[in-house]
Structure 1
Amino acid sequence: MQVSCAFPTALSSPDDIALAEELGFDRAWVYDTPQQSPDVWMVLALAAQRTSRIGLGPGVLIPSLRHPMVNAAATATLAALAPERTAVAFGTGFTGRRAMGYRAITWAFMESYLRAYRGLLRGEVVEWEGAQMRMMHPDGHAPARPVDVPVLIGALGPKGNAVARELGDGLFATLQVPDFLGEYSWVPFLAWGTVLDEGEPATSDHARAAGGPGWALAYHGAYEFGGPEAVRAMPGGDAWMDTVEKAPDGQHHLAVHQGHCVELNDADRAAWDAGGAAMLPDVTVSGTRDEVRRRVDELGEQGVTEIVFQPCGPDTRSELERFHEAVQR
């Protein structure tokens, strides 16, 4: 299994990716979350200049945020800056849309977008929004077409699976392990958590800082996909929902996604303190080195081919080192 990492795109991400290369990680993915991050393509370009081996890519792009020509041109640029190292993943928009108050895009839109995007990279004339277009970059402005870059699709259900099978080169999985995962030869699985010392409780300050942001996704996801009652059924869920519902009408999504994948927000802290911390080992890849290794092995048995670890907390180097050492034992 490949061992990769991910980062919620930040100004420090190019340096973090260079560190990940130094530590031996195979690939670095960064998020397309403009409501809380700098531009993903700018950051990847800087990372390409500071590295020489590690794979690079956005994971995942949200189609509605950019015209397909914009993403095609950016993909070609990164492929020129990091040849043979570039891959791209697309998703329907858990954070990249819901944190701005939108629902996820439809799979019909994703399918049409991907057809246009992939056609552009092949150098074809494609139709988008009633107009015909193609990449017309002269020499020195982009690599010659076709630009051959692997494209992965983030999917959990049958509609997404159908699109991924037809238009993708692999499946980008997160939060859940879909039952069709074994159909794909390339499956990165995005995971959060932390490696605990022997005897360290899951409620330690270190566990909270390093594992908490990933743990909080259980509440964020339950709210978005199951609604308030799904959250209230969870340990600490009443405290979490009570905090979110203090936000003005129409702005609950802002309270939910504040600090998403980076730090605990007010609702997350309330749930943690109300007993939700006990869920940390269940909803993240957290535990001792041996426990983390066993969990990663289990994912491999389910069809995951690339574990993607997002470090959290104040010490990125330590979190990356501990995880890499644990899964390489």
Structure 2
Amino acid sequence: MSPAPALRVGVRVPPCDRADRLVETVRRAERLGFDDVWFPDSQLLWRDVFTTLTAAALGTERIGLGTAVTNLATRHPAVVASAARSVAELAPGRFTLGLGVGNSSVGPVGLRQTTSAAMRDGLGMLRALLDGQEWDFEGKVRSRLRDPRPDVPLHLAASGPKNLRLAGEVADGVILLSGVSPRTLEGATARVREGAEAAGRNADELPLTVSAFCAVTDDIEAEARRIKPICASIARNGGAPFLALAGIDVDVPAVVEDVYPDLVHAEDWDAAVDLCSAWISDEAATRFAQEFCLFGTPEQITERLDALHAFGVTGVFLQHVGSYDPPTELIEAVGTSVLPRLT
């Protein structure tokens, strides 16, 4: 039996600056040995994700590129298919189309997140168009994508049971939004496996990518205070039971005002931290950082990454705290002190 492929380590880079400037960040990640760079999509918060991907594709040679994630609510699936094909042509074998329910794309413009049923239909349309097949658009016209790109993998980001099962059933890979806690990972991967088995697929062949906030530090308590808004957002959006599994009991109001545009992407991060301190204690934030995130020394982070790989995770993408600056410090810290230990 051949050994399992090495764990792919990526980093999330928000399109928070001009595309030509962000390319330098991506190039640095490539030089330091990162496997992937993932770009989120939110039309009012950042520059256009496919414009940024185009610049990154033209400015790099090896590193994988992906959306983490775009959506099928603000973008019609046919538009997404064309954009994905266009990027894949510039970076053959390097592009992954990550899709999700919308979150910060739909909220600021008053739209609803994509339902599981709509996601299933949208994924079917995307796959057909990228494969060069005709699609029946609402029974009115049949059309196809010229110059299709069947090699674009479709990865579905999921945290709830319905979309986790859907990912296992129809997606080419899964982006797990449950952090690195073994307790929540076990539950999430079980739902993915259920979906795969129901569709007659082998769940062990599905790539599993885990997103995790990361900080290389020898003072977890000090760094953990910065992620109180992340913890509060998870609790407010139905994740309180997952937090409770790790001994984190918090009570966050259903509506949190005075934070624009939302807790995870707050423009005034310090104010969001202070606000969330009313519900998230320093002790709870530290436990959240230790259980769900990759906070610690290079040795500790390396051990956690090795454990994720042993669990069956095939990739991670690391996030820094902040939406409107590139993760320069995180890339340097992980690239110089963690990645060499993994290799």
Fold-level match, TM-score > 0.5?
yes
Paired letter, 2:221: A
Which residue of structure 2 aligns with residue 179 of structure 1?
189
User: In structure 2, which of residues 7, 10, 27 is the aligned counterpart of residue 4 of structure 1?
Assistant: 10
SS, match of residue 296 in structure 2: coil
Change (3 A) 1:160 1:166: same
Cα distance in structure 2, aligned partners of 1:78 and 1:10: 19
Cα distance in structure 1, aligned partners of 2:74 and 2:171: 20
> What aligned pairs does 1:123-202 form with structure 2 within 5 A after superposition?
123-137=132-146, 144-176=147-179, 177=185, 178-180=188-190, 183-185=203-205, 186-197=207-218, 200-202=219-221
Residues 116, 127 of structure 1: 8 Å contact kept: no
SS, match of residue 191 in structure 1: strand
Paired letter, 1:202: E
Change (3 A) 1:257 1:101: farther
SS, match of residue 298 in structure 1: helix
Paired letter, 1:189: V
Percent identical across equivalent pairs? Answer: 26
1:73 Cα deviation from its structure 2 partner = 0.6
Residues 237, 271 of structure 1: 8 Å contact kept: no
Change (3 A) 1:174 1:158: closer
Change (3 A) 1:120 1:321: same
Residues 16, 326 of structure 2: 8 Å contact kept: no
Query: Number of aligned pairs?
Result: 303
1:257 Cα deviation from its structure 2 partner = 4.5
Change (3 A) 1:255 1:163: closer
Cα distance in structure 1, aligned partners of 2:312 and 2:293: 18
Residues 189, 304 of structure 1: 8 Å contact kept: yes
Cα distance in structure 2, aligned partners of 1:174 and 1:311: 15
Which residue of structure 2 aligns with residue 259 of structure 1?
266
Cα distance in structure 1, aligned partners of 2:170 and 2:262: 35
Q: Unpaired runs of 5+ in structure 1?
A: 138-143
Cα distance in structure 2, aligned partners of 1:301 and 1:82: 30
Change (3 A) 1:78 1:174: same
Cα distance in structure 2, aligned partners of 1:25 and 1:305: 14
Which residue of structure 2 aligns with residue 244 of structure 1?
256
User: In structure 1, which of residues 288, 291, 297 is the aligned counterpart of residue 300 of structure 2?
Assistant: 291
Which residue of structure 2 aligns with residue 320 of structure 1?
331
- More moved, 109-118 vs 59-68: 59-68
Cα distance in structure 2, aligned partners of 1:283 and 1:15: 30
Cα distance in structure 2, aligned partners of 1:165 and 1:255: 30
Change (3 A) 1:241 1:265: farther
1:212 Cα deviation from its structure 2 partner = 2.6
Cα distance in structure 1, aligned partners of 2:274 and 2:249: 10
Cα distance in structure 1, aligned partners of 2:333 and 2:166: 36
Q: Unpaired runs of 5+ in structure 2?
A: 1-6, 180-184, 194-202
Cα distance in structure 1, aligned partners of 2:153 and 2:26: 20
Cα distance in structure 2, aligned partners of 1:38 and 1:189: 24
1:29 Cα deviation from its structure 2 partner = 0.8
TM-score (norm 2): 0.77
Matched, 1:269 2:283: no
> What aligned pairs does 1:6-155 form with structure 2 within 5 A after superposition?
6-11=12-17, 12-98=21-107, 100=109, 102-137=111-146, 144-155=147-158
Residues 107, 163 of structure 1: 8 Å contact kept: yes
SS, match of residue 127 in structure 1: strand
Aligned Cα root-mean-square deviation (Å)? 3.1
Residues 244, 267 of structure 1: 8 Å contact kept: no
Which residue of structure 2 aligns with residue 212 of structure 1?
226
Paired letter, 1:259: A
Paired letter, 2:275: A
Change (3 A) 1:101 1:299: farther
TM-score (norm 1): 0.80
Change (3 A) 1:120 1:27: same
1:28 Cα deviation from its structure 2 partner = 0.8
Deviations 1:164-209 (A, max 9, x none): 2332111111234213257343111111120113xx3521xxx26x
Which residue of structure 2 aligns with residue 141 of structure 1?
none
SS, match of residue 95 in structure 1: coil
Residues 30, 59 of structure 1: 8 Å contact kept: yes
Cα distance in structure 2, aligned partners of 1:110 and 1:310: 25
